[in-house]
Structure 1
Amino acid sequence: MDLGLKGKKAVITGGTRGIGRAIVDILAAEGCDVAFCARKEDEVKAAVQAVSATGAKAYGGTADVGDGDSIRGFIADAAAKLGGIDILVANVSAMGGGNEESAWRASVEVDIMGTMRTVEAALPFLEKAGNGAIVAISSVSGIEISADTVRSYNTVKAAVVAYMSNLAKAHAGKGIRANTVSPGTIYFEGGVWGRTKINDPARYEHFLKKNRAGRMGTPEEVARAAVFLASPAASFVSGTNLVVDGAYTNRIQF
C-alpha cells in the first residue's frame, strides 16, 4: 500500500530512541522530511547523521517538552527548516511509575502539559498544511489497570487519549486529524523493559508471561501503526485510539 507520505514534513518529539526513533526511521523511509528532538544533544546529532545517511532530509534539535519555551522554540525551528509541518507525533513521557507527589508532578508536566504544548505550538502549521495529522503515543496503562498500586502513569496516559479525542472533534473542520496509539509491553535495549530485564528479572518474567503472544512487542511494530495513522492512507480515521499490544489487554475493543 502506498501511504502517500512522500514529500510530507513530519515532526517527532523524543525521536532518538525506542518507539520515537522507529517512527522517525519509517517516516523517512516512506519519503518524509523529518525533524525530531530529544534532551541529549549527542544523541540528537548521532540520530540526525544516521537518518541523513539514508538520503532523507533530517533536522534535529534539543528540547524539553516540560519547558514551554523550549518546545515552542523547537517546533518553530522545525517548521522553518522543513518548510512547514504536515505531521506531528507527540511521543515523550516522564514514565512516572510511582504515587509520590514528585512522580505525579513530572507526569502531569511532561505527559499532559508537554503533549498539549507540543500540539498547540504545531497547530498553526498543521492548519496551514490543510490536511495535517497528529498522533500521540499513550499506553495500554491508560485503558486498563495493570498493577495493584496507584500510579501516576496510568492516569496521565488516560488523559492523553481523552485530549486527542477532543482535538479530533475540535479540528476536524480544519482538515486536521488526531489519533492515539497505545502500545503494550515494548522491549528494546535501554528501554523500560530492557532495564527491567537486567535490574528486576522476576518482574520482567511476570509481565512477559502476561503476553499471550509469548513475547513483548518491538518499537517498529508500534511505529508502523503510528505512521499509518499519520498518513493520507488513514484520511478518514480520526479520534481513535489504536491499541498495539499483541492481545495483552483484557478489555473488549469496541
Structure 2
Amino acid sequence: MDLQLNGKTALVTGGTRGIGRAIVEAFAAEGANVAFCARDAAEITATETALAGTGVKVEGAVLDVGDGDAVAAWVDAVAGRFGGLDAVVSNVSALAIDDSAESWEACLRVDLMGTVRLMQAAVPHVGRSESPSLVAISSVSGREVDFASGPYATVKSALIAYMAGLAFQLAGTGIRANTVSPGNTYHDGGVWQSMERNSPEMFASSMALNPTGRMGSAQEVADVVVFVSSPRASRMTGANVLADGALSRGIQF
C-alpha cells in the first residue's frame, strides 16, 4: 500500500531512540522528509548519518520539549526550512513513574505540556497541508490501571483526552488528531531491557501478561504511527489506537 507520504514533511519529538527513532526511519522509508529533536547532540548526529542515504531530508535539533518557547521556535524554523509541515508526532516522555513531586512535575512539563505546546505551534503550519495530521504517543498505562499508575499513567490518560478534544475542535479544518498507545515495547537501551537486567522478576511477570508471548518492537509501533499519520488514514481522527498485542483487557467502545 502506498501511504502517499512521498515528498511530505514529518516532525517527530524524541527521534534518536526506541519508538521515536523507528518512527523517523519509517517516515523516511516512505519518502517523507523528517525533522526530529532530542537532547543528545551525538545521538542526533548518529541518526542523521544513519539516514543520510535514504534520499530524503532528515534533520535533527537539540531541544528540551519542556521549554515551550524553544519548541515553538523550532516548529516555526522547521516549517520555514522544509516548506511546511504535514505530520507531527509528539513522542517524548519523561518516563517518570515513581510517585514523587519531581515525577509529577516532569510528566506534566514534558509529556503533557510538551505535547500541548507542540500541537499549538504546529496547527498553523499543518493547517496549510493537504493532508494534515497530529499524533501523540500515549500508552496502555493511560487506558487501564497497572504498575505505572501515578504520574506517568495519569498524564498518558490526559494525552488521550487532549488529542480527542483537539480532533473535535479541528475537525472542520481538516486537521486530524489521534493517539497511538503502545503496550510493552522492547528495544535496545529501553526501559524493558533495563528491567530485564535489574528487576528480572518484574520483567518476567510483565512478559507473562503478553498473550503473544513476547513484547512488541519499536518498528511495530512506528508502522502504526506512520499509517495513522498518512493520507490513507483520512477518516481516522479522535481515535486512540492500541498497538499492544492484546495486552490490555478492556473493551474499547
On whether the aligned pair clears a TM of 0.5, the verdict is yes
Distance apart, 1:20 and its partner CA: 0.6
Deviates more, 1:127-136 or 1:80-89: 127-136
Distance apart, 1:46 and its partner CA: 1.0
Question: What are structure 1's unaligned runs of at least 5 residues?
Answer: none
CA contact (8 A) 2:18 2:218 kept: yes
CA contact (8 A) 2:141 2:149 kept: no
CA contact (8 A) 2:131 2:230 kept: no
What are the residue-to-residue correspondences of 1:229-248 with 2, within 5 Å?
229-248=228-247
The answer to whether 1:154 aligns with 2:143 is no
CA contact (8 A) 1:130 1:174 kept: no
The whole-number CA distance in structure 2 between the counterparts of 1:48 and 1:32 is 14
The answer to whether 1:188 aligns with 2:187 is yes
The residue aligned with 2:43 is: 43
The residue aligned with 2:112 is: 112
CA contact (8 A) 1:182 1:242 kept: yes
Q: The residue matched to 2:189 in structure 1 has which SS? A: coil
CA contact (8 A) 1:183 1:244 kept: yes
Normalising by structure 1, report the TM-score: 0.97
Identity of aligned residues (%): 48
* CA RMSD across the alignment: 1.0
Task: Provide, for residues 179-202 of structure 1, a one-character-per-residue CA deviation record: whole Å limited to 9, x for no partner.
Answer: 000000000010010111111111
Paired letter, 1:36: F
Paired letter, 2:152: Y
Distance apart, 1:74 and its partner CA: 1.5
Distance apart, 1:53 and its partner CA: 2.1
The whole-number CA distance in structure 2 between the counterparts of 1:40 and 1:216 is 27
The residue aligned with 2:93 is: 93
The residue aligned with 1:56 is: 56
Pick closer, same or farther for the CA change 1:232–1:150 going to 2, 3 Å: closer
Distance apart, 1:80 and its partner CA: 1.8
What are the residue-to-residue correspondences of 1:11-26 with 2, within 5 Å?
11-26=11-26
Paired letter, 1:241: N
Normalising by structure 2, report the TM-score: 0.98
Task: Provide, for residues 163-184 of structure 1, a one-character-per-residue CA deviation record: whole Å limited to 9, x for no partner.
Answer: 0001101111111000000000
Q: The residue matched to 2:187 in structure 1 has which SS? A: coil
The whole-number CA distance in structure 2 between the counterparts of 1:150 and 1:82 is 39
The residue aligned with 1:134 is: 134
CA contact (8 A) 1:96 1:151 kept: no
Pick closer, same or farther for the CA change 1:150–1:157 going to 2, 3 Å: closer
The whole-number CA distance in structure 1 between the counterparts of 2:107 and 2:17 is 20
